[in-house]
Structure 1
């Protein structure tokens, strides 16, 4: 435990890493296929689309690097927003501390939610957003699976975050301990058999009015339940059922959707 906590503390004080736009020519076969899949996304039409993108973001970086996907969208209301997809834990640090910043130590550090210090992973996200050309104060939507969702909640709760968070989408993430402002709508998708969202000890407590915790049956196996593809399928089924029962999409979904008018993916590593 001391080793893990020490590694988490180191995340706050280690030097920032270089962040640069992904060159697809440098990617391995699986990462390159994921990059090509990311480029096919020209419209975000549903919450399930945002969840699906989280899986592509993970696959572009895997354990070797950290990929941060940034899209500029034009919503149904004509307003331009930015959608930032953040990667989940990909490096469990069974060997030397190399590769992805979104590793075991940063997972623990983010849950500490230190308001004075930023993890190396968090600093890389902020640099990627700046390099993508997002002007300070712009409207942003943050989305992520597992640790990616923790990062999304962490940034949304940070009063010094230089952007205007207008929405958060998480799947399989323990985010109830984060003090996200009430003005920000949050969709927190959880499989009832997924133990990861319960790790904060408050997964089934009453949520704030702005948090839509959506519990879904999902796969029976806890291992299969904590899977982004399974979440994508479950969220799509939930949205379909919601539309049939209520005659329309879930509340506030227009904030999260729109035509992709600009797209860039950034990478960094330990």
Structure 2
């Protein structure tokens, strides 16, 4: 679905309530279940028929016996016979209807399977096209650079139409085939022979457009490489609560609207009770000391409490493994969170930060929690929502993420997801494909005015990934009537204690902000000295927001 905002930005929305895509196996399972119900109903109808015949013979025999009160008993038997006859007819009709429904479900499964097979065929065609594209360059001899230039030019035109994100996903998925072709026909043939059958899931059960964990293997391989080379070192978390005086520099530099110290240890902050206002908490996290996350305590009108954790994105690119948990190593920890035992650094530092910060702030296991995150912070939000151990400690209800490659993290169905992306955000393409179209995961792709044509590609990429632009997108979605967005709005309203819901769509003008008590926590990823030369070799990083 697409909707256009006042500034000309349009949106494609996938997933969420009212737009659930069932897999082939689920449709087939449903068809079999319906068919079993129909068989049970047919058996019940047959049993009622037997009882009806027995009742009819009993009534006739009773009348022929001439016994006293036979007429009255026969009247009751005839009434029971009529009830049985009516029940048999109803059950038989229901059985026929259920059987027809099972046939329709089976037909739907066949149609879905055919559509998936067609999608797989298109995927194979794309892969073969990439393979032969590489062979074209390798076979062109001295004209190879000219062929390569034409291919790059064509790729730029395609990116201008489809967006950099989707073309980057294509490069990640089909790049190996192109490189194999570039090495020559024999390498291309070896690539084809070495590939597993396309479109099959891990167990080979039916077609699937893109395997759900397509981006896990590259992330795991890169992390193993960093482990092997020593660029990433095992470490542990050190956490401290940041005093309010250190949040924004010297006290005299505080501006109106900034946080004000509170005697209770928290700081009272105004938050807009909508997706945009909540996501702004991640923007605030970028402004605190390096390696900081935010924990907001919400005191609801009904006396209950809820907690909102705000995560920044990747802050340090100066080295793979820095003292700042929000670095490249941290991103890879989040993307491979489901395979912790494969790596020397088994602790997921950012998740541990969230756990310790929430515990220190006073969060109870039964109290609702929400996480917002931009870029790498979105990866960690999704990783926490996919981790049963984290969910056992905290009642995580929802995550709001922006510009995050999080599709490979199997967020549990009980956690609602609002996933904001942009058609030119290549960071969101690092998970190798689109997010799942499920009832709990709503993905919004913004198509902001201004295509890459004629613009500096670097500026286009920066603007696409900018958190401020994503917050503007969230504001533009506030009045959307899309069923998935409406479900998100209702979830936000429930989480905020009914405040947002009472105002209408997201945060319609006329309602006030909600006060929360804010704490800021700074984490350090400190090397385990017992595993190295005895001395930590991490340096305090500079702050370089993604």
TM-score by length of 1: 0.83
Cα deviation digits, residues 56-108 of structure 1 (max 9, x gap): 101213xxx211111111457764211111121000124x8544211011111
Residue 233 of structure 1 is aligned with which of 449, 453, 472? Answer: 472
Residue 46 of structure 1 pairs with residue 262 of structure 2: no
For 1:123, the equivalent position in structure 2 comes to 352
- Answer with 97-106 or 153-162: which moved more: 97-106
- Answer with 116-125 or 44-53: which moved more: 116-125
For 2:332, the equivalent position in structure 1 comes to 108
- Residues 1-270 of structure 1 aligned to structure 2 (within 5 Å): 5-6=226-227, 13-17=234-238, 19-26=239-246, 29=249, 37=258, 41-61=269-289, 65-75=290-300, 79-94=304-319, 97-114=321-338, 116=340, 117-161=346-390, 162-203=393-434, 206-218=436-448, 220=450, 221-242=460-481, 250-257=489-496, 259-270=514-525
Q: Matched residues in 1 for 2:486 and 2:242: separation?
A: 41
Q: Which one has the bigger strand percentage?
A: 1
Cα deviation digits, residues 106-126 of structure 1 (max 9, x gap): 111211123554322322221
Q: Matched residues in 2 for 1:113 and 1:248: separation?
A: 28
What RMSD over aligned residues (CA atoms) do the two structures have, in Å?
Answer: 3.3
SS at match of 2:419: strand
In 1, are the aligned partners of 2:368 and 2:495 still within 8 Å (CA)? no
Q: Relative to structure 1, is the Cα distance of residues 170 and 247 closer, same or farther in structure 2, using a 3 angstrom cutoff?
A: closer
| 1:26 CA drift (Å) | 3.7
> Where has structure 1 moved over 4 Å in runs of 4 or more?
1-4, 7-12, 30-34, 75-79, 246-249
Q: Matched residues in 2 for 1:249 and 1:210: separation?
A: 9
SS at match of 2:388: coil
- Answer with 121-130 or 234-243: which moved more: 234-243
* Equivalences, count: 262
SS at match of 1:269: strand
Q: Matched residues in 1 for 2:486 and 2:383: separation?
A: 34
Q: Matched residues in 2 for 1:21 and 1:8: separation?
A: 34
Q: Which has the higher contact order (CA 8 A, sep 6+)?
A: 1
| 1:212 CA drift (Å) | 0.6
Runs of at least 5 residues in structure 1 that lack an aligned partner in the other structure: none
Runs of at least 5 residues in structure 2 that lack an aligned partner in the other structure: 1-221, 260-266, 341-345, 451-459, 500-513, 526-546
For 2:194, the equivalent position in structure 1 comes to none
| 1:133 CA drift (Å) | 1.1
Cα deviation digits, residues 169-195 of structure 1 (max 9, x gap): 101111111111112111001111111
Q: Relative to structure 1, is the Cα distance of residues 76 and 190 closer, same or farther in structure 2, using a 3 angstrom cutoff?
A: farther
Q: Matched residues in 1 for 2:447 and 2:397: separation?
A: 28
TM-score by length of 2: 0.43
| 1:241 CA drift (Å) | 4.3
Q: Relative to structure 1, is the Cα distance of residues 136 and 10 closer, same or farther in structure 2, using a 3 angstrom cutoff?
A: farther
